């Protein structure tokens, strides 16, 4: 049987691909629209960033900005912004722009925008009713870290404490570690000498009736001489800065100096208050025990000398008499001879009212095993004041609490609601703890960690001063500080100050003057260098 075979020519696939490519190359080229056709030329403007003329001025004043290429764009949507607020252009030439400073402007950068392009210009200070007194020695100030507290001392001077290592470039061999006394002009008082100072942070001080100073914080040594268990989170100094000490003789006949304030704690003290009537010392912190020492005691076998320590369990707060002895009539359960349960979180701020009652605020939600909602008011004996009712209170941390005219309280922090109602990080409380319906901040500070409010207080003129990490407040551009009217609205004309680089811890009003000393951890405000201390005038 014969088979018939049919032969076909087969091309390899590579050859077919080459033929297809050759065929495609013979097609007419694509003549679609050029995607880059009609693109606008880049804006050819140059701005002199060195300085506007003048370099500062109030809202409504005229400012000249110099540069090149302005006139070409005068009808192309040219806009000039003062720290984000648009000004009114009054004239345009090739090399200069004249602009009116707008209402609501604040110190910062002048920028020019045209055809969706933004050009940074010079810095400009918008002047207003609040100013930094540059005659006050804010520089060099504290050399590093933070100033935690400030208080008055006799002679118109101030006592400052914190975790700085020197102040005002003192020239002292060991600087001024943690504590310094300064004159009314901000310069160091060199008659106050602390030797090597404290080995840790000094969170607060009070002055006793005899002029001696109680200092508290997180330290265990003073002047390099009072360590080794002789000092524990609290100290008393003489008015010249030396340790208030006594000499003791042990059973072996050895004589040595020990702190005269026989008071010790087992953990950091974060706040200290002093009662007006009796000068008693109220301390708050992360401690569990108050202790006293009996130097040169005899051990139980009657043969060896020792230091005998008496202790009382006191959770988070305790009250001492002016001489440093323990006051058993405050926060102590007589049935157990230990304190009642302390706060179950951190105490961020405290306040002693004129009636002797105490406000505590922070992260805690319970005190003495009762729900307190992060703010609680105590009676003078440490019991909870049932007439102060915040309901569920704030839904997050309270960083600062301050007295306001009329017996009210200003609370600020990280909370977004108070007693179930939206309240963005700032709330005014009435004397009974309920929110004041006449105070509202509108949208206030937005959610998020950058919106945390660190500090709030009232200036001597009644305005409310707020500080934090925010960039806007109720729709107004503000970089770290805002001044409110007593009803919570952004105060018109008062918010010209520029960015604050850091945080504020405390304010202290200057007697007989519309001025306030401010301390914290900051290095610049309103384009002016300020080293952790400044004097505001208004």
In the chain, helix, strand, coil percent, each to 5?
5, 45, 55
Residue 318 three-state SS: strand
The mean pLDDT value for 360-371 works out to: 97
Q: Tokens 């609680």 map to which residue?
A: 376
Q: Tokens 């310094």 map to which residue?
A: 180
Encode pLDDT of 225-268 as tens digits: 999 999 999 999 999 999 999 998 766 677 889 999 999 999 99
The mean pLDDT value for 502-519 works out to: 97
Confidence of residue 306 (pLDDT cuts 50, 70, 90): low
Task: Check whether 165 has a pLDDT greater than 90.
Answer: yes
The mean pLDDT value for 339-343 works out to: 98
The mean pLDDT value for 441-446 works out to: 90
CA distance 424 to 445: 6
Which structure tokens are listed for 88?
A: 């009114």
Sign of CA dihedral 57, 59, 60, 62: positive
Confidence of residue 304 (pLDDT cuts 50, 70, 90): low
CA distance 270 to 361: 13
pLDDT value of residue 327: 98
**The whole model's pTM is what?**
0.89
pLDDT value of residue 296: 61
Encode pLDDT of 409-440 as tens digits: 999 999 999 999 999 999 999 999 999 999 99
pLDDT value of residue 6: 41
Task: Check whether 108 has a pLDDT greater than 50.
Answer: yes
Between these two residues, 35 and 63, which has the higher pLDDT value? 63
Closest of 318, 219, 330, 211 to residue 272, by C-alpha: 318
Between these two residues, 319 and 451, which has the higher pLDDT value? 319
The mean pLDDT value for 435-449 works out to: 89
pLDDT value of residue 8: 43
CA distance 159 to 207: 9
Confidence of residue 212 (pLDDT cuts 50, 70, 90): very high
Task: Check whether 337 has a pLDDT greater than 60.
Answer: yes
CA distance 209 to 344: 34
**Buried b vs exposed e over 513-534: b needs ≥16 C-beta within 10 Å?**
eebbbbbbbbeebbbbebbbbb
Between these two residues, 170 and 19, which has the higher pLDDT value? 170
Between these two residues, 237 and 306, which has the higher pLDDT value? 237
CA distance 286 to 263: 16
pLDDT value of residue 302: 57
Task: Check whether 110 has a pLDDT greater than 50.
Answer: yes
């Amino acid at each position: 049987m014969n088979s018939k075979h049919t032969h076909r020519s087969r091309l390899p696939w590579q050859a077919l691909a080459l033929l297809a490519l050759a065929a495609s190359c013979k097609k007419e080229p694509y003549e679609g629209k050029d995607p880059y056709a009609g693109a606008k030329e880049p804006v050819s403007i140059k701005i002199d960033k060195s300085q506007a003329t003048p370099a500062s001025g109030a809202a409504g004043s005229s400012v000249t900005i110099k540069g090149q290429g302005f006139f070409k764009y005068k009808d192309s949507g040219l806009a000039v912004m003062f720290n984000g607020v648009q000004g009114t252009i009054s004239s345009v030439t090739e090399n200069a722009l004249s602009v009116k400073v707008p209402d609501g402007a604040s110190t910062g950068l002048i920028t020019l925008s045209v055809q969706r392009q933004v050009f940074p210009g010079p810095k400009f200070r918008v002047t207003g009713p609040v100013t930094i007194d540059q005659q006050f020695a804010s520089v060099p100030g504290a050399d590093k870290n933070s100033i935690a507290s400030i208080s008055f001392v006799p002679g118109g001077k101030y006592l400052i404490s914190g975790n700085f290592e020197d102040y005002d470039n003192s020239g002292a061999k060991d600087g001024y570690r943690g504590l310094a006394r300064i004159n009314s002009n901000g310069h160091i008082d060199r008659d106050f000498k602390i030797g090597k100072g404290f080995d840790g942070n000094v969170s607060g001080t009070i002055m006793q009736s005899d002029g001696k100073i109680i200092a508290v914080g997180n330290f265990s040594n003073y002047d390099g001489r009072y360590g080794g268990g002789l000092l524990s989170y609290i100290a008393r100094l003489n008015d010249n800065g030396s340790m208030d000490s006594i000499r003791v003789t042990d059973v072996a006949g050895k004589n040595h100096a020990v702190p005269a304030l026989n008071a010790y704690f087992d953990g950091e003290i974060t706040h200290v208050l002093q009662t007006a009537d009796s000068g008693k010392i109220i301390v708050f912190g992360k401690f569990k025990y108050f202790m006293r020492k009996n130097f040169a005691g005899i051990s139980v076998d009657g043969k060896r000398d020792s230091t005998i320590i008496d202790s009382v369990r006191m959770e988070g707060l305790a009250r001492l008499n002016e001489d440093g002895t323990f006051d058993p009539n405050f926060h102590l359960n007589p049935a157990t001879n230990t304190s009642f349960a302390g706060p179950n979180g951190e105490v961020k701020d405290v306040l002693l009212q004129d009636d002797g009652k105490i406000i505590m605020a922070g992260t805690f939600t319970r005190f003495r095993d009762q729900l307190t909602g992060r703010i609680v008011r105590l009676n003078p004996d440490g019991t909870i004041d049932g007439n102060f009712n915040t309901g569920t209170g704030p839904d997050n941390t309270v960083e600062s609490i301050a007295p306001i005219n009329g017996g009210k309280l200003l609370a600020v922090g990280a909370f977004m609601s108070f007693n179930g109602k939206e309240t963005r990080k700032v709330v005014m409380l009435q004397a009974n703890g309920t929110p004041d319906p006449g105070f509202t901040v509108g949208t206030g500070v937005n959610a998020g960690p950058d919106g945390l409010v660190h500090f709030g207080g009232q200036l001597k003129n009644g305005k409310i001063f707020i500080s934090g990490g925010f960039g806007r407040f109720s729709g107004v551009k503000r970089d770290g500080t805002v001044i409110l009217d007593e009803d919570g609205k952004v105060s018109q004309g008062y918010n010209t100050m520029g960015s604050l680089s850091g945080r504020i811890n405390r304010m202290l009003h200057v007697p007989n003057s519309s001025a306030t000393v401010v301390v914290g951890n900051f290095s610049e405000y309103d384009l002016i260098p300020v080293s952790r201390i400044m004097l505001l005038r208004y």
